[in-house]
Amino acid sequence: MEQDTISAKYNELKEKGLLSLYPKGIKITVGMSTCGIVAGADKTYETFGQGLSDLNLEARLTKTGCLGLCEEEPLVYILVEGKGRYIYGRIGPGDVYALLSGLKNKKIPKQNLLCKVREDKPLLGGAVNIEELKQGIELFEPPGLQDIKALPFFARQMKIATRNSGLIDPISLEEYVAMGGYEALKKALLMDPEDIIETVMLSGLRGRGGAGFPTGAKWHLTRQSEGKEKYVICNADEGNPGAYMDRSILEGDPFSVLEGMTIGGYAMGAQKGIIYLREEYPLAASILNEAIKRAMDQGFLGEHILGGDFSFHIEVIKGHRAYVCGEETALIASIEGKMGEPRPRPPFPTEKGLHGRPTCINNVQTWAYVPPIIALGHEWFRSIGTEYSKGTKVFSVVGDVQKSGVVEIPMGTPIGDIVNGICGGPGPWGLKAVEMGGPGGGFLPVSLVNMPVSYEGLLEVGAALGAGLVVLGQNRCMVDMALHFMEFAVKESCGKCLPCREGTLEILRILRDIAEGRGVLADLRVLEDLSTALKYASLCGLGQTAPNPIMSALKYFKEEFLAHISHKFCPAGVCKGLFRVKIDRYNCNNCGECMIVCSNQAISKTNNGYDIDVIKCNGCGNCIYICPIKAIKPIRNED
Amino acid sequence: MAKTISIDMREFEFDAGETVLSVAKRNGIFIPTLCYHEALKPYGACRLCLVEVLEGDKPGLHASCLLSAKQGLVVLTVSDLVLKVRGVLIQLLLKRYPKEKSLMDIAKACGIEDSISTLTGEHQEKACLLCGRCVRACEEMGRSVIGFVSRGSERAVDAPIGSHKECLGCRACENVCPTGVVRFSLHDGVIKNDLWDITVDMAVCPICGRSFATVPLIDKVKTELEALSEAISMCPACRRAELLKRICV
Ligand SMILES: Cc1cc2nc3c(=O)[nH]c(=O)nc-3n(C[C@H](O)[C@H](O)[C@H](O)COP(=O)(O)O)c2cc1C
Ligand code: FES
């Protein structure tokens, strides 16, 4: 295709996209990613459809992905021509009619209104001032509305990989192009493949899948490897418990990943791309397949991309329901139809990967960064972040935190800013630790919570950057947490190599002993020896990093382990049998909550206040954590 | 000048493609192994053969059965880290299979004897240590009849129903098993493996009536021979080599 023809094609798509992004009149958009649907967004969407026709209101009804504010799902966006976009949280089917009647009466309803968006500033496209768009509709807007930029949740974020999520219709190629999508591919196809790799290398982009390998270097190795046929793979297995940022990107902006892979395919000389998708992500699968189809229809994928010589196909392959299949060599084995087990490296996949051919495997986020880097240049990306960690990082933040969700922050942001600033702080029990890196990561105590996010920094303190971020309140017991992570490792160990198969099991046995009051001091040394063996001897990353949670727990919360071992006491009141509960009658306000949550009816009301029957108490700990004034405390059995 | 690597502060020459384990063995340096077998492709799963690399590759522990010898490589087969990790691995095995004789031999060879006495009495039980030699033997020489099943600590070797009758009865698995838990025994007219519940018919010599090989093995040789009619024109040595090549793949 001539450049002119291509430009015309882009303009046409862009125009269509802008028209559906900013239509005339009113547009109602429902966040329909998995997080939204889990909160009931599909019912909300249906009800909107019904309501619009019932009330005879004219408005477009569309879907979008996840904006990150998962706590407030189902999210509804009401775009009013010439006024702005109003974001509503927690809109169940019951709230729909009230909302619609408000609109019908020319009012912006206040109920559940979170904020207003006055301007969209797409990373790759020109800014769109919604308030100035066209002539507009006259609607009454409640005074003092907060702008989205003033919300703490968004103010500190910087959206690159999640730039389009929650903004565009995920499967609308036109809207993607209107947001500056596929500009990078157009540019890349005019570049020398080596220059693309150089750009990626200079950008400082490192893999977001965990190990943080420099992406440009991996691309370079793949390109250099002998062989006509090569593969690029998107690792979308996302098996870390609690992590779902990759899913959020795939469901919210599939084209960004497709575009990134296509650019990578061109740069490395690959003809085929594979998205290895976690089996439990059916919505992402259907969105991706639809996006692939549309990209092919429009010539952005398939034979002769944009009319040129380069042809590239992408296929979605379902994962094998095992955490270890996220490890690159196990992932390859699994695609080849073999048992999903890792094999020793070298040879590395870049040299001998899928079907023995050079293969470049990158994480979902890593691919999503590629288009902006190519479009805006390596210097722009380099300017964000720390010395060795460039750009932004997407986290799913879950656990004992006020606003869980998906956030994207520049590298170097203090972890505390994410927890307290963006996500509204820990739950009522205060912060105890933050877990970063999932089953291969570690716990950071409060004293380290203000350290900046970076590969190098986290590695030094025993955590990692691959998974999400789990916030743990004071009500958590670190022995118990370490035990949970070890249970996961035992369950997910493939069993191929001896250290991981037997070692994780032995660590778990010892942790159980400690949690159940049978621990002895010598156990701590054995735990360290076992951890050393796992770290140095395991065949793959699963075993090598499996001891990290327990190592960091031992490092930062040793006194808690000692209390379990020496005093047979669980200070957090979690490990059954290792504590007794006591009500502080002096402070008790007699609210009675404890009696309601007691799992064995051991709490009764007496003339002097509430009383716990020590014999009946089964140590569930519910009362400790329900008490609004913390008047119930775990104490040692003998106290 | 010949190329050399340094093992335990001594220099050794090596052949192209040789592993560190092979160089060490050739020179009488002891490195414990379990999943390694000279007739099979290295697997790298038991991790007993770990050595510490100081220079010439990524520093740290590497499985020597997989580590290629290359000029300038400096490794230690005994270092604090190697001994510590190796010790833990052997203890883990001993804990799981306290009565396994072959394991005790390895432990003894590694100087880990003290814990044995506290662990066991007799050692008559034969255990599967999941080294995977049998699986690889079947894959490389047989017909992939057996394989690993289940994950993690439930991992085991088994023959899925349906692949039973594929077994040639070549007994390569039995041959490479380090503990002797893989065993075929001759019953009337068949050989049997109780572990995987496999039975293979024995062929009988039409002249003397002696059982001498399994039916599928003889069938296999016959088919290979037929396909090899051109081998008649080869000299006996070449014919033999050619036959062997065909039969073994
Ligand atoms: C047990 C295990 C699980 C893994 N799971 C994932 C995963 O779910 N997603 C992912 O991108 N990388 C995962 N990895 C890392 C991959 O092996 C690989 O390093 C990564 O996909 C490379 O992409 P990147 O360079 O873009 O980070 C896992 C590694 C291990 C050891
Ligand atoms: S002998 Fe090398 S890993 Fe088993």
Closest residue in B to A495 (Cα) is B152
**How do the pLDDT tens digits run along chain B, 249 residues long?**
679 999 999 999 999 999 999 999 999 999 999 999 999 999 999 999 999 999 999 999 999 999 999 999 999 999 999 999 999 999 999 888 887 889 989 999 998 876 554 444 444 467 899 999 999 999 998 999 999 999 999 999 999 887 888 999 999 999 999 999 999 999 889 999 999 999 999 998 888 888 888 999 888 888 877 766 676 677 878 878 877 777 665
Q: What SS3 state is found at A82? A: coil
Distance CA A266, CA A261 (A): 9
* Helix, strand, coil percent content, chain B, rounded in steps of 5: 35, 20, 45
Give the distance from residue B239's alpha carbon to the nearest chain A alpha carbon, in angstroms.
Answer: 32
Q: What is the DSSP annotation of A551-590? A: HHHHHH-HHHHHHHHHS---TTS-STTS-EEEE-TTT---
Residue A532: its chain B contacts at CB < 8 A? 81, 84-85, 88
Distance between Cα A322 and ligand 1 center (Å): 13
CA-based angle A582:A585:A586, to the nearest 5? 130
> What is the pairing mode between strands A76-80 and A359-363?
unpaired
**The two three-digit tokens of residue B118, written as one number:** 């506290």
* Cα dihedral sign, A54-A60-A65-A71: negative
Give the distance from residue B34's alpha carbon to the nearest chain A alpha carbon, in angstroms.
Answer: 10
For domain A478-566, which CATH number applies: 1.20.1440.230, 3.40.50.10330, 2.40.110.10, 3.30.310.50? Answer: 1.20.1440.230
Whose Cα sits closest to atom 17 in ligand 1? Answer: A327
Q: Compute and round to an integer the Cα radius of gyration of chain B.
A: 22
Closest ligand to Cα A393? 1
Distance between Cα A142 and ligand 1 center (Å): 48
Q: Which CATH class is domain A580-635?
A: alpha beta
- Residue A383, pLDDT > 80, answer yes
The answer to whether A397 and A469 are in contact (CB under 8 A) is yes
- Nearest Cα residue to A531 out of A542, A518, A546: A546
The answer to whether A216 and A205 are in contact (CB under 8 A) is yes
**Residues 347-376 (A) with a CB less than 8 A from some CB of B:** none
Neighbouring CB atoms inside 10 A of A615's CB total 7
Q: How far apart are the first and last CA of chain A?
A: 83
The fraction of chain A above a pLDDT of 70, given in percent, is 99
Is there a contact between B45 and A339 if contact means CB atoms under 8 Å apart? no
Q: What SS3 state is found at A503? A: helix
* Nearest CB neighbour to A499, from listed B89, B152, B153: B89
Cis previous bond, A74, omega within 30: yes
Give the distance from residue A345's alpha carbon to the nearest chain B alpha carbon, in angstroms.
Answer: 9
* Nearest CB neighbour to A498, from listed B81, B84, B93: B93
Give pLDDT tens digits for B82-95: 999 999 999 999 88
Distance between Cα A276 and ligand 1 center (Å): 11
CA-based angle A243:A247:A252, to the nearest 5? 135
- Nearest Cα residue to A195 out of A214, A225, A223: A223
pLDDT at B220: 85
Give pLDDT tens digits for A3-40: 899 999 999 999 999 999 999 899 999 999 999 999 99
**The two three-digit tokens of residue A585, written as one number:** 């009658």
Residues with CB under 6 A from ligand 2: B 33-36, 44-49, 63, 65
Q: How many CB pairs under 8 A join A and B?
A: 91
For domain B1-125, which CATH number applies: 3.30.70.20, 3.40.50.300, 3.10.20.740, 3.40.190.10? Answer: 3.10.20.740
The answer to whether A251 and A335 are in contact (CB under 8 A) is no
Burial (CB count <10 Å: 0-12, 13-18, 19+), residue A303: exposed
Distance between Cα B111 and ligand 2 center (Å): 18
Which residue stretches of A32-118 are H helix?
34-38, 41-54, 93-104
What's phi and psi for B15, nearest 5 deg?
Answer: -90, 160
Domain boundaries, chain B: 1-125, 133-247
**Residues 519-578 (A) with a CB less than 8 A from some CB of B:** 529-530, 532-533, 536-539
* Residue reference for tokens 């790759």: A124
What's phi and psi for A81, nearest 5 deg?
Answer: -55, 125
Domain boundaries, chain A: 22-148, 182-381, 392-473, 478-566, 580-635
CATH topology of domain A22-148: Glutaredoxin (3.40.30)
Lay out the sheet containing A76-80: strands in order across: A60-64, A26-31, A76-80, A84-88, A113-117
Q: What is the DSSP annotation of B124-138? A: ---------HHHHHH
Give pLDDT tens digits for A122-174: 999 877 888 776 666 778 888 889 999 999 999 999 999 999 999 999 999 99
Is there a contact between B88 and A344 if contact means CB atoms under 8 Å apart? no
Q: Which atom of ligand 1 is nearest to the CA of A540?
A: 31
Distance between Cα A335 and ligand 2 center (Å): 26
Neighbouring CB atoms inside 10 A of A613's CB total 12
Ligand 2 pocket test, candidate residues B20, B33, B37, B110, most atoms within 8 A of CB:
B33
- A492 contact B CB<8A: yes
**The two three-digit tokens of residue A351, written as one number:** 């040299």
Residue type, A375: A
* Residue reference for tokens 């003889």: B218
> What is the pairing mode between strands A313-318 and A272-277?
parallel
The CATH code of the domain at A392-473 is 3.10.20.600
Cβ neighbours of residue A430 closer than 8 Å, sequence gap 6 or more: A473, A474
Q: Does this chain's domain A22-148 share its CATH topology with A392-473?
A: no
Q: What is the DSSP letter of A401?
A: B
**The two three-digit tokens of residue A129, written as one number:** 């001032």
Q: Kindly state the average pLDDT of the residues A80-104.
A: 94
Q: What is the distance, to the nearest Å, from the Cα of residue A599 to the centroid of all Cα atoms in its chain? A: 34
The answer to whether A570 and A634 are in contact (CB under 8 A) is yes
Q: Compute and round to an integer the Cα radius of gyration of chain A.
A: 27
Give pLDDT tens digits for A403-429: 999 999 999 999 999 999 999 999 888
Closest ligand to Cα A208? 1
Give pLDDT tens digits for A615-636: 899 888 889 988 988 899 999 9
Selected residue of A327, A338, A498 to mutate for chain B interface (largest B Cβ count, 10 A): A498
Selected residue of A501, A508, A542 to mutate for chain B interface (largest B Cβ count, 10 A): A501
Residue B79: its chain A contacts at CB < 8 A? none
What's phi and psi for A388, nearest 5 deg?
Answer: -105, 0
* Nearest CB neighbour to A533, from listed B88, B153, B154: B88
The answer to whether B157 and B147 are in contact (CB under 8 A) is yes
Looking at the DSSP bridge assignments, the partners of residue A323 are none
Residue B139: its chain A contacts at CB < 8 A? none
For domain A182-381, which CATH number applies: 3.90.1150.10, 3.40.50.11540, 1.10.760.10, 3.40.50.1100? Answer: 3.40.50.11540
**The two three-digit tokens of residue A558, written as one number:** 């040793």
pLDDT at B149: 93
**The two three-digit tokens of residue A6, written as one number:** 């291509």
Distance between Cα A239 and ligand 1 center (Å): 9
Which residue stretches of A301-363 are H helix?
328-335
